Copies of this chain bind each other. A is one copy, B any other.
Amino acid sequence: MGRAFNFSAGPAVMPEAVLQQAASEMLDWHGSGMSVMEMSHRGKEFISIYEQAEADLRELLAVPAQFKILFMQGGGLAENAIVPLNLSQGGAMDFVLTGSWSQKSLKEAGKYGQARVAASAQTDSFSTLPAPATWQIGADSRYVHICGNETIHGVEFHELPDLKALGCDAPLVVDFSSHVASRPVDWSRVGLAFGGAQKNLGPAGLTLVIVREDLIGHALPHCPSAFDYKLVSDNQSMYNTPPTYSIYIAGLVFQWLKKNGGIAAMEQLNIAKAQLLYEFLDSSSLFENRVAQDCRSRMNVPFFLRDESRNEAFLAGAKAANLLQLKGHKSVGGMRASIYNAMPIEGVQALVAFMREFEKTQA
Query: Is A225 part of the contact surface with B, judged by Cβ < 8 Å?
Result: yes
CA distance A246 to B203 in the complex (A): 9
CA distance A112 to B225 in the complex (A): 12
**B243, A203: Cβ atoms under 8 Å?**
yes
> Which residues on the B side are within 8 Å of A3 (C-beta)?
27-28, 33-34
> Which residues on the B side are within 8 Å of A203 (C-beta)?
37, 243-246
Query: Is A185 part of the contact surface with B, judged by Cβ < 8 Å?
Result: no
| Shortest Cβ distance from A323 into B: residue | B33
Query: Is A239 part of the contact surface with B, judged by Cβ < 8 Å?
Result: yes
**If the complex has contacts A4-B33, A324-B33, are A111 and B244 also in contact, measured as CB distance less than 8 A?**
no
CA distance A34 to B227 in the complex (A): 32
Size range of the chain A interface in the assembly: 35 or more
Counted per complex, copies of this chain come to: 2
**B8, A16: Cβ atoms under 8 Å?**
no
Q: Mark contacts of A20-49 with chain B using CB atoms, 8 A cut-off: 1 yes-contact digit, 0 otherwise.
A: 101110111001111101111101000000
* A205 interface neighbour in B8, B73, B239, Cβ under 8 Å: B73
**A14, B38: Cβ atoms under 8 Å?**
yes
**If the complex has contacts A75-B240, A245-B204, are A11 and B28 also in contact, measured as CB distance less than 8 A?**
no
Query: Is A216 part of the contact surface with B, judged by Cβ < 8 Å?
Result: no
**If the complex has contacts A2-B28, A73-B78, are A205 and B243 also in contact, measured as CB distance less than 8 A?**
yes
Would you mind naming 28 contact pairs between A and B with Cβ atoms under 8 Å apart?
A1-B28, A3-B34, A4-B34, A6-B34, A8-B39, A10-B40, A11-B37, A12-B38, A13-B38, A19-B26, A19-B27, A19-B35, A22-B26, A34-B324, A37-B203, A41-B204, A73-B75, A73-B205, A78-B226, A80-B225, A81-B225, A82-B224, A111-B224, A196-B241, A198-B244, A203-B243, A203-B244, A204-B243
Which A residues contact B (CB, under 8 angstroms)? Answer: 1-4, 6, 8-14, 16, 19-20, 22-24, 26-28, 31-35, 37-41, 43, 73-78, 80-82, 85, 108, 111-112, 196, 198, 202-206, 220-222, 224-227, 239-246, 249, 322, 324-325
